[in-house]
Amino acid sequence: MPPPPPPPPGAMATGTAIHAVPCAAGQPKRKTHRRGASSLSVRASTDAASTVTLLDYGAGNVRSVRNAIRHLGFGIRDVRSPEDILAADRLVFPGVGAFGSAMDVLTRTGMADALREYIRRDRPFLGICLGLQLLFDSSEENGPVSGLGVIPGVVRRFDSSKGLIVPHIGWNALEITKDTQLLQGADGHHVYFVHSYHALPSDANKDWISSVCNYGESFISSISMGNIQAVQFHPEKSGATGLSILKNFLSPNSSGSKVSPGRKASNLAKRVIACLDVRSNDSGDLVVTKGDQYDVRDHSSSKEVRNLGKPVDLASQYYIDGADEVSFLNITGFRDFPLGDLPMLEVLRCASEKVFVPLTVGGGIRDFTDANGRYYSSLEVASEYFRSGADKISIGSDAVFAAEAYLQTGKDGKKQLGANLESIRQSGPLGEEYAWYQCTVSGGRDSCPIGAYELAKAVEELGAGEILLNCIDCDGQGCGFDIDLVKMVSDAVTIPVIASSGAGAVEHFSEVFEKTNASAALAAGIFHRKEVPISAVKEHLVDAGVEVRV
């Protein structure tokens, strides 16, 4: 297949998967514009009424927005020229990536001026995430960089110097400040955010603001003025609430889908994530399986790969059940050429048509050379996964290798030693007086001379947006998360940490949230085997006083 073009720099912050195992110490084991009084009224034909114009400038995953629009019964017309923007009856701009890169593309193609004119005419417009930020005067991201200058204000980074976890990832509550059609039914609900930069309310832009959100400070989560709407969150990834918001824009005269808020949202929720380990079984079928300390074969005489269901079916059910995210881990990805793994790409495409919460994929995100000698960079591999429906990419083995290289060339020995000491804990798995958390690669088969603490610190400095933290010793045991490991890593970094491995009861989720700074907890087997439903986890967390999306 021809190589896919890479996205612009900063198209997506990737996550890092850390596979850790406690080993005995020393014994390696395993401008603002002012609108006029008049607005342009357009009478659309029947065909135009069911078609939305989408501005996709080629960065990150826009498939999710496409799928949500189509799910709501609308067709899509893609912008190919500035004239397409000016001819649009309704325009959706799902901006992703870096502010400067996006403005470069929009300016170079003439689309920036077309956008300004479209908005000046007060035509129906919905910006999403970066599509909101670009409306402001400028951004400090790799800047200052000038924006479209529609709304007064500067986009700034969240301040992580006082312990705030950045990026702001997850489900947070909206505080609606203006009655708008767009946000009808959204009050009291969580919506999904993923961003490191934000716009602050001010006297100059207060008339634009329709809702705010609190994360360390109050920031603008949506704007509304006439027909111009934009949101910082991702409605296409905000479940039924998000789909209702999208429908309010696409069908402003309809009543929309009202979603019962249940328990009123108040702040950032802890996330419950369903994980699906996907691989081919001995018959060549792609199945969801589950390992026991990474061993996915039955202990019976058959030694067959455990088959716990079909990936798309399970992902769809977990979305219905209330999972806040779904993660696919292609656990044979390190052995095969991932761009040749058409079934896994198809799983992503199909799942993204049914699952309107974030999708993560991991496994095989690395440089490859195919049988014909054609070289593919890890960026090309990741780009194809994004285009197939992934919202986040999880990098495992290559993240370890990159961290090792970084520490060898970018850190002095004294600092490295200090980090190693942080990986040591008292009492090992076999009763040793001291042990340390050693990282592994290749699905846990190979050990590396780097500790979990120093790896976490290194990948944060290298730009990882989130850490998925596994523990081989706890995997499949059902005895709870490794609290010491999760606390050590989540205290060490200012990016979100997902606790993984070991969940066997609802109490394990409240324990990890109460005793560590984990932003999310992930489970697999207990959901696949229907031992503990996602709803039971959420109900328990509510009873324990933990903020969750319900």
Catalytic residues: 129, 234, 236, 277, 412
- Single-letter amino acid code for the residue at 315: A
The letter for the amino acid at 190 is H
Distance of CA 183 to CAs 23, 148, 543, Å?
52, 24, 29
Cα distances (angstroms) measured from residue 294 to each of 19, 290, 382, 438: 11, 8, 24, 16
Cα distance between the two ends of the chain? 43
Residue of 9, 3, 15, 4 whose CA lies nearest to 390:
15
Residue type, 413: G
Q: How far apart are CA 229 and CA 126, in angstroms?
A: 5
Question: Mapping DSSP to helix (H, G, I), strand (E, B) and coil, where does residue 194 land?
Answer: strand
CA-based torsion, 331, 13, 375, 2: positive or negative: positive
AA letter at 276: L
Distance CA 203, CA 194 (A): 26
Q: Please give the torsion angle defined by the CA atoms of residues 235, 69, 44 and 38, in that order, rounded to the nearest 10 degrees.
A: 20
Say how far apart CA 239 and CA 245 lie, in whole Å: 10
| 157 DSSP β-pair partners | 197
Q: Which of 435, 359, 367 is nearest to 397 (CA)?
A: 367
**Using an 8 Å Cβ cutoff, are 470 and 501 in contact?**
yes
Q: If you write DSSP's letter for every residue of 349-371 in order, what string do you get?
A: HHHTTT--S-EEEES--S-EE-T
CA 70 distance to own-chain centroid: 21
Residue 347 to residues 222, 312, 329, 388, Cα–Cα distance (Å): 33, 6, 12, 9
CA distance 416 to 456: 13
Cis bond upstream, residue 167 (ω within 30)? yes
Positive or negative CA dihedral for 353, 358, 362, 365? positive
User: C-alpha 227: how far from its chain's center?
Assistant: 29
Token pair listed for 147: 């924006």
Q: How far apart are CA 56 and CA 64, in angstroms?
A: 12
- Counting Cα atoms < 13 Å in the Cβ hemisphere of 333 gives 29
Cβ burial, residue 430 (10 Å; 0-12/13-18/19+):
exposed
Residue 305 per-residue DSSP state: B
| Amino acid at site 247 | K
Torsion, CA 351, CA 352, CA 358, CA 361, rounded to 10: 60
